[in-house]
A = this chain, B = another copy of it.
Amino acid sequence: MKGGVKVGIINVTGYAGVELARLLRHHPEAELVAVTGRSAVGQKLGEVFPHLADMDLTVEAELTDSVDLAFSALPQVASAPVVAPLVRDGLRVVDISADFRLKDASEYEVWYKAAHPAPDLLEEAVYGLTELNRRELPSARLVANPGCFPTGALLALAPLAHHDLIQGDVIFDCKSGVSGAGRGLSLFTHYSEVNENVQAYGLEGHRHLPEIIQELRKVNPRLGARVTFVPHLVPMTRGILSTCYVWPKDGALGPADKAQARVRELYQEFFRGEPFVKVVPAPPQTKHTWGNNDCLLYPVFERRTGRLVVISCLDNLVKGAAGQAIQNMNLMFGLPETAGLDHLAVYP
């Protein structure tokens, strides 16, 4: 038995939950002691997920063991009613669902078509994009783990927003693998419909949009940009590549022939010392982050037009969900930030 922080996973049966279990198994200072999941109560974890067969845990209806931290991998709307009483009872929680991300309960209601059951906790909840909110994590009781799209989008533009270099409006054109849509069944994720196919979706407004806007404005309250966000579904299991289009403010990057070097420096400076965010020297590919917690960034100054194109990529189930949740846990409990997350991507 490993000792260290004792953790439980609420709803281990979705992809974020099962990825948490995988990552925790390799964690040197945390121990997974309990898992819940309504559809599989009473089954051994390895019966549901054969790759976890060597983890001796039984799926329970509710968290019963005494744990130091609970991860909620419940779906949106279902999570808050479960999480809120736990937090009030003094349990620290990282909620992977969207339920505590928006600060404004009325905005939550607009986007999630449900009244928020615990609006009093919204202010306190820390938006767990680790790199941007690191200082709030050690004392956090409730962490709202970011969505997979917002993680890539926000890290891509945070340096520019921070330095107030963005002029006009912003576009996020994002390409996601299918696991981001979860383990629930739908034609949208049916193999024969997805394979050999690309489509845009959420054109009427995707739920990750208000989260992106809220946090961009937190980085820079003066930012007035209108934000367009178009997600696309591509035929692969893991990975998000975001292509972000902005205009830099006039002259903000200096003379055109120096702007590319300038913007790279600015990104490198902003993320200096970050273990998981890397400003890379060549266009990144989602495969470079397959299975690990990295977010790769590649800013390009398009000299012909003066536009900036910033590309980010990450694994939606790791940095976009379970990995970042563990990164947040590490900071909440004073552990090394990279504990349990020190994997290379699996290539090819």
Contacts and interface: CB of A to CB of B under 8 A. Distances in A.
- Residue from the set A52, A227, A241, A282 with the largest chain B CB neighbour count within 10 Å: A241
B241 A198 contact: yes
Given A190-B183, A230-B309, A344-B26, A197 B283 contact: no
A1 interface: no
A14 B25 CA distance: 30
Contacts of A201: 283
A64 B311 CA distance: 39
A200 interface: yes
A304 B237 CA distance: 31
B347 A198 contact: no
A274 interface: no
Given A169-B305, A199-B283, A205-B304, A291 B191 contact: no
Contacts of A348: 15, 179, 183, 192-193, 195, 237-238
A274 to B, nearest CB: 13
Interface string A158-187: 000000000001010101011100010111
Contact of A228 (B25, B50, B305): B305
Contact of A196 (B190, B239, B309): B239
Interface string A224-248: 0011101010111111010101000
Nearest to A317: B348
Interface in A280-307: 280-292, 296, 300, 302, 304-307
A209 B249 CA distance: 25
Contact of A200 (B53, B169, B283, B287): B283
Contacts of A283: 199-201, 203
Contact of A347 (B18, B25, B282): B18
Interface in A302-348: 302, 304-307, 309, 311, 313, 342-348
Contacts of A67: none
A189 interface: yes
- Most chain B CB atoms below 10 A, which of A189, A195, A226: A195
Leading 7 A-B pairs by shortest Cβ distance: A197-B287, A51-B345, A185-B185, A199-B285, A226-B305, A192-B348, A173-B173
Given A169-B307, A200-B243, A200-B311, 4 more contacts: A175-B175, A175-B198, A189-B191, A227-B305
